[in-house]
Amino acid sequence: MILSGFPRFIRCKASPFSPNLKQPRYKNLQFLSYSTHPHCSISCLSTNPSKPIYSATVSDLKKWEDWAKTLVYSVGSKFMETDNGPEVNTLCREIQWLLQDVVVEEDQRVEGVVKLRTEMDQLYILWNQRIEKRRPFQYIVGCEHWRDLVLCVQDGVLIPRPETEKIVELVEEVVRKDEGLREGLWSDLGTGSGALAIAIGKVLGVGGNVIATDLSPVAASVAEFNVRRYGLQDKVEIRQGSWLEPLEDAKGKLAGLVSNPPYIPSGQISGLQAEGMDDLLHLCEGAASMLKPGGFFAFETNGEIQSKFLVNFMLNHPKSMFQDVRIVADFAGMKRFVTGFCQ
């Protein structure tokens, strides 16, 4: 799923790390602590604008750039042909983004020397990983731009996907109309990088809060890091554990519940059967006991078959407590989300 190219970057005219964009983005991050996240690899460049301590000559950097491009040209269109992966132009653009991200400034004291955020050796290792291991570019630079957020990501933590942004829009829509929901307690189950939890935390009113869970200790730790980076620790709480288990104290109190549970590639779903839905069905059943009357839910599925199955399950379940259940399409028109309210 992650390796299928980077449509967001392709769509970007400028690199998300380009100098023009970098300034304000870094300004946003100025309030963040410069301490490195415990799980962050040293490749967490963009999100960790720590003091530059490395340097290289411009000619060393040029040598690296030439080598990186040679690797790209040796691959040619292979990635695109095998799995619609990045093509030469995109990879060459990534080289530029990486350089822009790594190079801090020219060293004023020594001509022809630049200050770097990482060692030259590491730069070789990172680009080798990008090409040889197809390591996602977001893991190379350690972050992803998602809505108005710059989120730290690393191996083992899902890179938030553009289509999931729609869930935040849906939440914005309901809280705009309902003060009780705007000031209520929300939950994001399987939070990953904390993307949904943080974005929802930002759209809630002063009294609104979010509790987000994730089974993975690495994800929970990265989400916690991202929450702190945005100074939202009083608004968004991360709890490590399985789905609703860490939310015993919130039973029947939730104003809203959202989740984008593990993604099952549609190619792995045979015929019309809605497979890979155990988590979603578990969450639906749980939602009924977690939400207070009038509470809102939004689940992300992998498309029409799962969405229809879920709606059917919710409306025909003997203990069904849901109303206004509907399917919402993503930006590409794919019927991806199921939303509704608790009776």
Ligand X SMILES: C[S@@+](CC[C@H](N)C(=O)[O-])C[C@H]1O[C@@H](n2cnc3c(N)ncnc32)[C@H](O)[C@@H]1O
186 lines the binding site for ligand X (CB under 6 A): no
Span of 25-33, 37-45, 213-221, 284-292 interacting with ligand X by CB under 6 A:
213-221
Contact between 12 and ligand X by CB under 6 A: the answer reads: no
As to burial, measured by CB atoms within 10 angstroms (0-12 exposed, 13-18 middle, 19+ buried), residue 24 is exposed
Work out whether 266 is an interface residue with ligand X (CB under 6 A): no
Residues 139-168, mask of contacts with ligand X (x by CB under 6 A)? -------------------x-x---x----
Task: Give the whole-angstrom CA distance, residue 50 versus residue 314.
Answer: 49
Is 170 near ligand X (CB under 6 A)? Answer: no
Quote the CA–CA distance of 214 and 262 in Å, as a whole number.
Answer: 11
Q: Which of 215, 281, 321, 328 binds ligand X (CB under 6 A)?
A: 215
Task: Provide the minimum distance between the beta carbon of 188 and ligand X in the complex, in angstroms, as a whole number.
Answer: 6
CB of 164 to ligand X, least distance (A): 4
Judged by CB under 6 A, which of 29, 45, 195, 255 binds ligand X?
Answer: 195
Which of the stretches 54-62, 64-72, 214-222, 264-272 binds ligand X when contact is defined by CB under 6 A?
214-222
Site for ligand X contains 283 (CB under 6 A): no
Angle at which helices 195-203 and 165-177 cross, to 10° = 20
Minimum distance from residue 309 beta carbon to ligand X (Å): 18
Segment 231 to 250, residues that bind ligand X, using CB under 6 A: 242-243
Instruction: Kindly provide the residue ranges of all beta strands, DSSP E only, lying in 117-242, ordered along the sequence.
Output: 143-146, 149-152, 185-189, 209-214, 236-240
179/191 Cα distance (integer angstroms): 24
**Range list of H helices, 54-164:** 58-75, 78-83, 88-102, 120-132, 137-141
- What is the C-alpha to C-alpha distance for residues 339 and 257, in angstroms, rounded to an integer? 10
- At how many degrees (to 10) do helices 88-102 and 120-132 cross? 160
- CB 170 → ligand X: shortest distance, Å? 14
Q: Does 9 bind ligand X (CB under 6 A)?
A: no
**180, two tokens:** 């009780």
Residues lying near ligand X in the complex (CB under 6 A) are found at 158, 160, 164, 190-193, 195-196, 213-216, 219, 242-243, 260-263
